[in-house]
Amino acid sequence: MESKPKKINLFTRLIKGGHIPDILDCIANLSSDEVFTPPDLVDKILDLLPEEVWHDKNLKWLDPACKTGIFLRQIAFRLMNGLKNEFPDEEERRQHIFKNMLYGIALTDLTALMSRRSLYTSKFANGEKSIADFQDENGNIRYDNRPHTYQNGSCIYCGNKEGSDLDRDESRERHAYNFIHLKEEELQNMKFDIIVGNPPYQLSDGGGTGSSAMPIYQYFVQQARRLEPKYMSFIIPSRWFAGGKGLDGFREEIIHDHRIRKIYDYPDANDCFPGVEIKGGVMYFIWDKNYDGDCEITTIIANEESMSIKRPLDEYDIFVRWNNAIPILRKVKSRNESTLDEMVSSRRPFDFNSNFKDFDQINNPDKVKIYAMNGKTGFIPRTRVQSNKSMIDTNKVLMAKAGSINGKYPNNVIGSIIVAEPGSICTETFLVVGQFKTNSEAENYAKYLKTRFVRFLLLLRTPTQNMSKSCFAFVPNLPMDREWTDEKLYTRYNITPEEQEFIESLVKELK
């Protein structure tokens, strides 16, 4: 077969650093659920592994979420260099690596073909142009269009809803991702030493996108931990830092797992994935089965690394991403003051949806004013309000549930704030963040929330734009019989000039 030596030479040139344009640098993402990983980012993730893994011929590697095959390809390059002493013959070395060390589970039939093409230089592992010597077309990269397994209306493995768009027959891909849909007996027969990859981030079935879609990446990390590899490394969204939809349990597991040796955090996902919007940013980590200690945290903004600091992940109930924030937060917490989460309402304070429009502009004593989406207001009969009636006739401060956090710093953090008069309510567009006896207290409270210091404390618990009651758990509940400014708050909490500069680097001044 004349073409095979040509492919071997191509692979050798790549290993030796010959300049060949890499199509995987340019390939577009298939969807917002499955984000392709640029080769240079894969190399940064692989750099977290200890040097000795590249010289051990007995290790078995797994990418449980193959898309382009880039992880397996970059691993192969390193192993081809690292195992030269073990296998001086290049062809013998290549066949050992491909057949005995590298394994992948693809996300779809298409990504299986792409991954084989990247690793074996042929979409069929046994094809004429394949540089690997396999008897079947799959090689060590497998895909199976599995069905979801439903119980009480939801898939027991990924949570997909029965009857959703992904509840399909076998003629269409169901996105029942193989790795997280493995049965217990299948898991028991799997043994891998190193598991790395970039799993799907969310499961979109037509009912939502972005932060409202169902997160799924956590299941890949949890499944990998069940296999107890020596090392594990994934790149995933950072939303789990503060928990939230489907992630509270995962956050608890991660922050109490002292085997996580290092974390690299990108508040702006564009620094990793140009042109891809991932609210809250992304992070990658190295998990070491034999490690037990604090985690080294590094934050990267605009490709500039912050100072790395070792600290416990579980110092607080969430993971605080900013190293420089820790001493500031410790000063605030040392005063043992109550916090604003005790004052903030839950979602849907008066049980009216954000898109509620059934109001008019006619006011009378039997009606209440309603603050709605896009700055609109109107009036509805008081009798229509069935939830939290006691809040109607108070001076209230409303805050838009959708904040202003986009990974670009400094930013506003919060959305609009309204001091609402007695006799008023709001739709789900807002949270009621405080109630007061007098209008002056409410006005002081609104000004307090707009300070950079308060918005900084909110930022620490708000990885995406969605505000909730728990986001206020670091903000002190101070008396509102006076006006608070940043200068007064900096003095109260002994914030140094350097710490003030850090706060102001993250949070804009509001006009």
Q: Considering the entire predicted model, what is its pTM?
A: 0.84
* pLDDT per position as a tens digit, 86-103: 999 999 999 999 999 999
Q: CATH homologous superfamily of domain 3-323? A: Vaccinia Virus protein VP39 (3.40.50.150)
- Sign of the torsion angle spanned by Cα atoms 148, 137, 34, 30: negative
Which pLDDT score, from 0 to 100, does residue 307 have?
78
Q: What is the mean pLDDT of residues 172-177?
A: 85
CATH class of residue range 340-506: alpha beta
Under the banding of pLDDT at 50, 70 and 90, the label for residue 172 is confident
Query: How far is it, in rounded angstroms, from Cα 400 to Cα 417?
Result: 7
Q: What is the mean pLDDT of the chain?
A: 89
Which pLDDT score, from 0 to 100, does residue 168 have?
79
* pLDDT per position as a tens digit, 2-54: 334 434 444 554 455 444 444 454 444 444 456 789 999 999 999 999 999 99
* pLDDT per position as a tens digit, 187-226: 888 999 999 999 999 886 444 444 457 899 999 999 999 9
Which pLDDT score, from 0 to 100, does residue 11 have?
54
Q: What is the 3-state secondary structure (H, E, C) of 385-426?
A: CCCCHHHCCCEEEEEECECECCCCCCECECCCEEEECCCEEE
Which pLDDT score, from 0 to 100, does residue 206 have?
47
Sketch the domain layout of the chain as residue ranges.
3-323, 340-506
Q: What is the mean pLDDT of residues 157-173?
A: 82
Q: What is the 3-state secondary structure (H, E, C) of 465-496?
A: CECCHHHHCCCECCCCCCCCCHHHHHHHCCCC
Q: What is the 3-state secondary structure (H, E, C) of 232-293?
A: EEEEEEHHHHHCCCCCHHHHHHHHCCCCEEEEEEECCHHHCCCCCCCCCCEEEEEEECCCCC
Lowest mean pLDDT among 15-19, 160-164, 283-287, 492-496: 15-19
What proportion of the chain, given as a percentage, has pLDDT over 90? 72
Q: Pairing mode, if any, of strands 61-66 and 102-106?
A: parallel
Query: How far is it, in rounded angstroms, from Cα 255 to Cα 316?
Result: 9
Which pLDDT score, from 0 to 100, does residue 409 have?
82
- Helix (H, G, I), strand (E, B), or coil: what is residue 313? coil
Q: What is the mean pLDDT of residues 102-106?
A: 97
* pLDDT per position as a tens digit, 222-244: 999 999 999 999 999 998 987 77
Contact 398, 418 (CB under 8 A): yes
Query: How far is it, in rounded angstroms, from Cα 177 to Cα 336?
Result: 46
Residue 429 makes CB contacts below 8 A (sequence gap 6+) with 354, 371, 372, 373, 400, 401, 402
Query: How far is it, in rounded angstroms, from Cα 383 to Cα 390?
Result: 13
Query: How far is it, in rounded angstroms, from Cα 165 to Cα 163?
Result: 7
- Helix (H, G, I), strand (E, B), or coil: what is residue 96? helix
Q: Amino acid letter at 95?
A: Q
Which pLDDT score, from 0 to 100, does residue 204 have?
67
